Structure 1
Amino acid sequence: MTELAATELDVTEDAFLGGQLRLTQPRSGHRAGHDAVLLAAATSAYAGARVVDFGAGVGTAGLALARRVGGIDLVLVEIDPDLARLARANAAANSIPAETVVLDVTADAETFAASGLPPDSVDVILTNPPFNDPARHRASPDQARQSAHVASEDTLQAWVHAARRILKSGGVLTLIWRADGLTDVLAALSRGFGSLAVLPVHGDASSPAIRVLVRAVKGGRAPLRILQGLMLNDLLLNEESDVPKKQVQKNVREILEGRAVLPLAQP
């Protein structure tokens, strides 16, 4: 555990990707989980690509991608200085080269450029923006958790705009969002992006989608594709009860352990 983590924050050290990645993160507030790992597994990249993780938190999605795809030029963008320091320490602890930038994703172009992210300079962006609807989501009293989870009315538009500005033509944006907000995602991506592919994520086959993973290409012109949904769990008959129990599907377990990727990462 880093000196920072031990002395300044109440933290835990947690394993991701079946132990391939060990991350220090705050015990309270926003904590990384399946969304970040699924986002990384849905992102295509290649050695030498400049890859930016918007709203990186402690670095989970970006570092998981870098663990799978060696040689990427990774930048972790995070507004919270404490989380950014943990992201920097996590990259070092896992021997993954990465630059960490303390930056508000909604900042103007000049601020981005001053941080080393000028227009048309990035190949790949992945992001898990705050996406809970404040009208329907009871805000957490923990300010860090609230800012990481609750979106304002213009959060999505602002983050997509920033991505569009710094991506090269043909660059790829991959994001995860609430499934019931898919129309907002499509609207935000309607300017400047195309070749969209949408992967719905369901808790199980009996439930509506809870998330959507979306891949978009700056300047892309191919038609929208809706991919077969990902079912996180199987429903198994419980012999002692009429209530079925859930079990993580084998293919999902392989993804969470870093042994498989999602179709969005195989364009």
Structure 2
Amino acid sequence: MTDDALIGGRLHLLQPARGHRAGHDAVLLAASVPPGARRVVDLGAGVGTAGLAVALRLPLARVTLVEIDPAIAALAARNAGRQDPDMAERVQVVTADVATLARPSGPPVPLAGGADLVLMNPPFNDPARHRISPRAGRARAHSAEDDSMEAWLRAADRLLEASGELRLIHRPEAIGTLIELLHRRAGAVSIRPVHGRPDTPAIRVLVSAIKGRRTPPAILPGLVLADTQGRPTPEAERLLRGGGGLDEH
């Protein structure tokens, strides 16, 4: 186990020394959450990085962390309790499979239609096309068949209120699948490419959508994390170390 500090030392996380660990993806996902969010559900929360970062930045937001692995969910609960008392009081942890949420046989919380925002950092790798980590925890977090994405999006749809927002981070090659799946239940899709450097292809995309809308998709200006020399850009510093939001300047 390690005890790590993120967001300029303002977020302290216990996490396994090996396997799936907190990183920039979760912090960038949290930064994409708009300042008006109040009832947030973090699907596949892991040790709580993204959801806790949201609670840290938005003092009026209440956050539910959903994690399938009981041991990791217990760590998320410990991490929530390690923050300041007000922040800890606004966070709850649910141990559950995403596919069971907001169903009669599923957990009582989070409630169907009870969230104004759902965020997710879903499993990235289709095991049919990518080499999978031999470590079970890392494999679970990073690998799933493409079909599993639909289960995550269906869960988000059940949890969101009318006109609620979905925010997620994924790999660029998933854009086609995401747009196809979101078209059935959401619109106003926006895609923000994330580049490691200004002269390289995007390494991630931040995607947002609004439940029930039919507005066409939009490509937003890209976010660049480092300059050509590898030095963090001012915007990356503001988001990753300063805890700022993409919609806040």
TM-score (norm 1): 0.87
Superposed counterparts of 1:1-267, under 5 Å: 11-46=1-36, 49-95=38-84, 96=87, 97=89, 98-107=91-100, 109-112=103-106, 114-236=107-229, 246-263=230-247
Runs of 4+ residues over 3 Å off in structure 1: none
Q: How many residue pairs were aligned?
A: 244
SS in 1 for 2:8: helix
Residues 204, 232 of structure 1: 8 Å contact kept: yes
- Counterpart CA distance in 2 for 1:170 and 1:51 is 14
Structure 2 partner of 1:3: none
- Counterpart CA distance in 2 for 1:233 and 1:184 is 28
Post-superposition offset of 1:250: 1.8
Structure 2 partner of 1:242: none
Post-superposition offset of 1:204: 1.1
TM-score (norm 2): 0.93
**RMSD in angstroms over aligned alpha carbons?**
1.6
SS in 1 for 2:206: strand
Unaligned runs of 5+ residues in structure 2 are: none
Which is higher, the Rg of structure 1 or of structure 2? 1
Post-superposition offset of 1:259: 4.2
Post-superposition offset of 1:118: 3.1
Unaligned runs of 5+ residues in structure 1 are: 1-10, 237-245
Post-superposition offset of 1:71: 2.0
Residues 132, 178 of structure 1: 8 Å contact kept: no
**Partner amino acid, structure 2, of 1:87:** A
Cα distance change on mapping 1:90 and 1:247 into 2, 3 Å: same
Cα distance change on mapping 1:67 and 1:233 into 2, 3 Å: same
Residues 45, 72 of structure 1: 8 Å contact kept: no
- Counterpart CA distance in 2 for 1:187 and 1:68 is 32
SS in 2 for 1:247: coil
- Counterpart CA distance in 1 for 2:211 and 2:35 is 15
Post-superposition offset of 1:145: 0.3
- Counterpart CA distance in 2 for 1:147 and 1:85 is 17
Post-superposition offset of 1:176: 0.5
Post-superposition offset of 1:39: 0.1
Residues 111, 159 of structure 2: 8 Å contact kept: yes
Residues 34, 245 of structure 2: 8 Å contact kept: no
